[in-house]
Amino acid sequence: MPGTSAKIKYSFIKIFTGSDLTRRRLPFMSAESSDPGPSVWLTACGHGDEVGGIVIIQELFKKIRKTGLIRGAVYAFPLMNPIGFENVTRHITLSKEDLNRSFPGDKNGSLGERIADTILTTILEKDPVLVLDLHNDWIKSIPYALIDPNPGVCCQEIYDKTRMFIKKTGFLIIRDSETLHKSLSFNLLRKKIPALTLELGESYIVNEKNIEYGVKSVWNILSYLKMTESADRPFAYPLPEIFKNKILTYTDKPFSSSSGIVRFMATPGDVVKKDQPIARVYNMFGKLRETIVALNDSIVLGHSDSSMAFPGMPVMAFGIFGRSKSTRLRIEN
């Protein structure tokens, strides 16, 4: 079909030279149509233990190679934190920095800031209409699309565009409850570039079902931008009707107030009612110490990666309407 071929390139961008004189590099992928149009960026593995996004980008480029691009270009950094990836850890192990708390970066700053500066500068050179940052969440979690809090009047138009794009992902829509001033997505919004995050299930391993969801979600966006052929039916993650096209707020409260073993009473994807018991904490002799109850009518996003509980520690995450209320729990005597 004329006008649908794509020129695909794989290359590297240098980030620094190691003590053994080997060059450390970021893999860079591009797919460009012969016809002009919008550009979309995909980024993944900013946290080295979050590997699912790498595979989503790989599979998406295989699909583009097969079907082509009608117009525009797709660019990707599939592995933004190769050092953390090699050591199976969230952080840049050499400097113990969180790359997604290092933006906008500084070419003369710390190692994390230098890598962040390279990433952000390269993205901005392509003037994208949207950046999708791919992440993974707790081991027991459902996929969802995450939008930053509104950066303010400086970026209202861009924020409105981001809200429009996030509704095309097909996922449950969650607004972060905390403004992460040094995240990639927030700094892109401040640079007048629409940006959002896809949280695609558990870290550490490749969950094939979530890979499928991620590829289909990105394809929704590309089809909406008329960069690819539309699917027969746009992807939509199965959700209760009450949550469709609604923007919920993220919360990881209530926290535990006791130490012990957590026994979960609700699973990711469950809809829970305010004051419904969601977890119990038992001490080492099996005595019930605490029953944790939901603060709001909400949907369960995920469980903590550990069943160990300590005072002030989150055990579950939720998407709620409006703001989270203060912690509610029942202490057992």
Q: What is the pLDDT of residues 112-133, one digit of tens each?
A: 999 999 999 999 999 999 999 9
Global pTM?
0.93
- Taking residue 137's Cβ as centre, other Cβ atoms within 10 Å add up to 23
Longest pairwise C-alpha distance within the chain? 74
Least confident stretch, 145-149, 238-242, 251-255, 317-321? 238-242
**pLDDT at 231 exceeding the cut of 80:** no
d(CA 25, CA 30): 16
Q: What is the pLDDT of residues 83-92, one digit of tens each?
A: 999 999 999 9
CA distances from 236 to 13, 119, 168, 243 (A): 35, 31, 9, 12
User: DSSP for 181-248?
Assistant: TTSHHHHHHHTT--EEEEEEEESSS--HHHHHHHHHHHHHHHHHTTSSPPPSS-------GGGTT-EE
Q: Is the peptide bond before 254 cis (omega within 30 degrees of 0)?
A: yes
Give me the chain's average pLDDT, please.
93
Considering only CA atoms, which of 95, 279, 124 is closest in space to residue 191? Answer: 124
Mean pLDDT across the stretch 224-245? 89
Q: What is the pLDDT of residues 235-276, one digit of tens each?
A: 999 998 888 889 999 999 999 999 999 999 999 999 999 999
Domain architecture of the chain: domains with CATH: 6-238 (3.40.630.10), 248-331 (2.40.50.100)
User: Please, which residues have CB within 8 angstroms of residue 22's CB and are 6 or more apart in sequence?
Assistant: none
